[in-house]
Amino acid sequence: MLIRMKKLLIRPLRDDAEARDCTAQLGEFGPWRILGITPERIFKDLTNPARAVFVAESDGQIIGLLVLHLGGSFDGYIQLIAVFPEFQSRGFGSQIVRFAEEKIFCQSKNVFLCVSAFNNRAQKFYGRLGYRRVGELPDFLVAGQAEILMRKTTGPLLAFAPQK
């Protein structure tokens, strides 16, 4: 079956109303639901001014989200990436990750992300994109569940020279 790739626009989240719409979408699927992460927590993450929050649009419809943490110990951390279920398996996730990498690799040699240990599909997806498992964080988000820390790198951190 041939799946036609549509153009993807990735832009900053506009406002709280858009954050609420995205929160409702996220609460319906994936690891957030399995982990019991509340809509209130998701909304808080999407409206955190310390994060860079983006929506992915195709044909004027929001199809996914990206939340980046661009400072601190893990400078270049993908906190959240999601493609809503009806838009999965069309290449959008790869495009969103590439967008995140372009932003992060301008300021760091490393991109980090966590994926739930039970989420084998996501682990394989990130592995295909060049991410490697670098550790396991037991009880990181919720008790009894582990997160797998993954990293994609272009070299040692101290060899980094910021782009001007």
The type of residue at 155 is G
Q: 9-159 has which CATH code?
A: 3.40.630.30
Q: Please write the tens of the pLDDT for every residue from 99-117.
A: 999 999 988 889 999 999 9
Judged against a pLDDT cut of 70, whether residue 18 lies above it is answered with yes
* pLDDT at position 35: 80
> Does pLDDT of 3 surpass 70?
no
Please give the sequence-ordered ranges of beta strands (E in DSSP) within 18-121, or none if there are none. 52-58, 61-69, 77-83, 110-116
Which residues sit opposite 55 in a β-bridge?
11, 65
- Each domain of the chain, given as residue ranges in start order, spans 9-159
Average pLDDT value for the chain? 88
pLDDT at 89: 87
User: Is the predicted pLDDT of residue 133 greater than 90, yes or no?
Assistant: yes
Q: What pLDDT score does 80 carry?
A: 92
Q: For residues 78 and 93, is the Cβ–Cβ distance under 8 A? A: no
pTM of the full structure: 0.87
Confidence (pLDDT) at 33 = 78
pLDDT digits (tens, 9 = 90+) for 54-92: 999 998 899 999 999 987 766 789 999 999 988 988 999
- Please say if the pLDDT value at position 156 is more than 80: no
pLDDT score of 161 more than 70: no
